[in-house]
Amino acid sequence: MPRHAPSTQLLTHEVTNQPPDFAGRNLYLSDPVLREAACREGGDWVDQPLAALGADVGSEEALAWGEEANRFPPELTVFDRYGRRIDEARFHPSYHRLMELAMRHRIHSIAWAENRPGAHVAHAAMLALATECEQGTMCPISMTYAAVPALRHSPEISAEWVPKIIDGTYEAALKPIADKAGVTVGMAMTEKQGGSDVRANTTRAYAEGDAFRLVGHKWFCSAPMSDAFLTLANTERGLSCFLVPRIKPDGERNSFHVMRLKDKLGNKSNASSEIEYHDTYARLVGEEGRGVSTIIDMVHHTRLDTMAGTLGMMRMALAQAHHHVSNRRAFQKTLIDQPAMRAVIADLALDYEAAAALTMRVARAFGEAGEEARSFARLAVAVGKYWLTKRNPNFVYECMECHGGAGYVEESPLPRLFRESPLNAIWEGSGNVIALDVLRTLSREPAALAIFMAELNLARGGNRLLDQAIDDLGNAVRTLPQEADARRIAETMALTLQASLLVRHAPAEVADMFIATRLGGEGGRSYGVLPRGAAIETIVGRVAA
């Protein structure tokens, strides 16, 4: 008798042993490490706005917007249908939805609108949370936040533009500023021949009444759809800072020519461009001939955001990895219960916890009054930017590997995070520029070093290895290191500051293991190499609420 074939319904395609969807969670409330650090450094008041944002950016809808905004990147439209120059970057609707969400939650303005301690902590934590959802939109949000202190160098300009930032809501259309519900501000500094050496710029500015007209080419202009840009150009008195609006006071479009959009490795949702100024209308910001000292206020604040954005990428990569290994089985065990995998997650968690402590502490310094706080912020933000952004690509890669092959396909968010992961190390000064900036601050501002060392010494006595590291660092930096030592000094300063913060604020098991592996020589050259006896349960337990 013929044998009956088994039912194909049971043999074709039944999906098992796969994790549930990640979406539909509050990205803030599910992150006890960030929540503790933000409330500690910013005050309990930050909890409510962060929880509200965490719910929105962790929703299934918002995470889908992030995918769509990157799958359908902006396109340049140079002319309208009649041949008139418009020089517009056109975006997928999901990009505009994300921008509206960000400005509705005041990520760009909460630091200036809330006149109380912790406002910059709230901003940095918000930017980290929104970065978990989508990275590219945080470029214009960050620059709009950072433009405020630079614009305040010119009271007349500040009176016109800053209220539109602080009280503004998102409106994409280019209009005269008086007709806008809110504005965004971009930046255009670097040129082909100079790059980070902005003093090599050749763009010229010519006085014309109470304004200027600019002639030149900018190799990188971030967010060319913004309502205005801070830029650098040379006058007879030297390099100066200018505000270039897209719409002139007479209501006509400014001669702001977008030559092309950059085809970047990542950051696909955000338009970066090359532009040319052809007798472009501009207004002087700050003192003529002192453009670098004016715009450095903007750069200083965007450097904080490179830390916060990196923190957000680290958290999303780690959360995705933990979610996957907690819901996937292999060799008769859930992956998270496999000792080797558990060590990897624990090692990653140590870096994330240290990054959160460092970022929130530096953000607090941005809002504190007094020269001591300002000195600490100037030095610590360079140290933090250098180290966190350098650490990020390998961190994200290791989280990707936790998924196996599933993490390498484009349906996963990990490829997008990986492509994004090098950006903050390059933006606002690449590694050598930042490390050398640390050395310059140490040599020119002895008080900054004293304040930095005082911060480290708040943890003295909490861990023998840390005490020795503090002493060694003090000896190293007091001997005026050479330029070739810049990266080593910046890295050591960052790790020692992270360790100091963990000793003071994290569980002892977390702090001691971070110090043993990062300062004590017990860690490996890749993640997952921890000494025997590591308190892995405690460390991993802090990854998720």
Q: 369 and 335: one domain?
A: yes
The reply to whether 353 falls in a domain is yes
SS3 assignment, position 279: strand
Q: Are residues 237 and 197 in the same domain?
A: yes
Q: Per the domain annotation, does 174 fall within a domain?
A: no
Q: Are residue 278 and residue 297 in the same domain, yes or no?
A: no
pLDDT at residue 7, as a whole number: 55
pLDDT tens digit string along 410-441?
999 999 999 999 999 998 889 999 999 999 99
CB atoms within 10 A of CB 260: 11
Evaluate if residue 126 carries a pLDDT over 90: yes
Per-residue CA distances from 190 to 159, 203, 218, 307 (Å): 27, 10, 6, 21
pLDDT given at position 15: 86
Report how many domains make up the chain.
3
Q: What is the per-residue pLDDT for 118?
A: 98
Please tell me the pTM assigned to this model.
0.96
CB 211 within 8 A of CB 223: no
Res 228 pLDDT > 60? yes
Q: Which residues pair with 77 in a beta bridge?
A: 88
Indicate if 230 and 376 belong to the same structural domain.
no
Instruction: Give the separation between CA 199 and CA 239, rounded to whole angstroms.
Output: 7
- Residue 445 pLDDT > 60, yes or no? yes
Residues 127-182 have pLDDT tens digits of 999 999 999 999 999 999 999 999 999 999 999 999 999 999 999 999 999 999 99
pLDDT of residue 301: 97
Check residue 8 and give its pLDDT: 54
**Both 256 and 304 in a single domain?**
no
Mean pLDDT in residue range 506-519: 98
Q: Is the pLDDT of residue 105 over 70?
A: yes
Q: Which of 88, 115, 142 is the last residue of a domain?
A: 142
Confidence of residue 200 (pLDDT cuts 50, 70, 90): confident
**Residue 198 banded pLDDT, cuts 50, 70, 90:** confident
Considering 290, 324, 354, which residue would you say is the last residue of a domain? 290
Same domain, 396 and 537: yes
**346 belongs to a structural domain:** yes
What is the domain range of residue 204?
185-290
Contact 52, 105 (CB under 8 A): yes
Residue 197 has pLDDT above 90, yes or no: no
Backbone dihedral angles phi then psi of residue 206, each to the nearest 5 degrees: -120, 125
Let me know: does 267 contact 420? Beta carbons within 8 Å.
yes
Query: Residues 463, 469, 475, 481: is their CA dihedral positive or negative?
Result: negative
Distance CA 523, CA 502 (A): 17
Task: Give the CATH number of the domain where residue 197 resides.
Answer: 2.40.110.20
Q: Which of 275, 290, 305 is where one domain is finished? A: 290
For residue 381, the model assigns a pLDDT of 98
- Nearest CA among 389, 405, 222 for reference residue 314: 389
Residue 281 placed within a domain: yes
Task: Report yes or no on 388 lying in a domain.
Answer: yes
250-307 pLDDT, tens digit each: 999 999 999 999 999 999 999 999 999 999 999 999 999 999 999 999 999 999 999 9
Mean pLDDT of the chain: 95
CA 367, 370, 373, 377 torsion: positive or negative? positive
pLDDT mean over 524-541? 94
Same domain, 306 and 286: no
- Residues 266, 302, single domain; the answer is no
What's the CATH number where 363 sits? 1.20.140.10
Q: Look at phi and psi of residue 14 and say left if phi exceeds 0, alpha if psi is from -120 to 50, else beta.
A: beta
CB 274 within 8 A of CB 220: yes
- Mark whether 213 and 275 lie in a shared domain: yes
The distance of Cα 463 from the centroid of its chain, to the nearest Å, equals 31
Nearest to 540 by CA among 518, 516, 509: 509
CA-nearest of 495, 489, 466 to 476 is: 489
At residue 544 the predicted structure's pLDDT band, cuts being 50, 70 and 90, is confident
- Secondary structure tally for the chain: helices H, strands E: 19, 11
- Asked whether residue 354 is assigned to any structural domain, the reply reads yes
Going by C-alpha positions, the residue among 70, 126, 71, 67 that lies closest to residue 101 is 126
- For residue 369, give every residue at least 6 positions away whose Cβ sits within 8 Å of its Cβ, in sequence order, or none: none
- pLDDT value of position 2: 53
Question: Is residue 87 domain-shared with residue 215, that is, in the same domain?
Answer: no
Tokens representing 124?
Answer: 């940095």
Instruction: Return the percentage of the chain with pLDDT > 70, whole number.
Output: 98
**347 lies in a domain?**
yes
Same domain, 523 and 409: yes
- The answer to whether residue 155 sits within a structural domain is no
Residue 308 and residue 277 share a domain: no
pLDDT in the model for residue 11? 67
Mean pLDDT along residues 5-11: 58
Q: Identify the pLDDT of residue 9.
A: 59
CA distance 319 to 322: 5
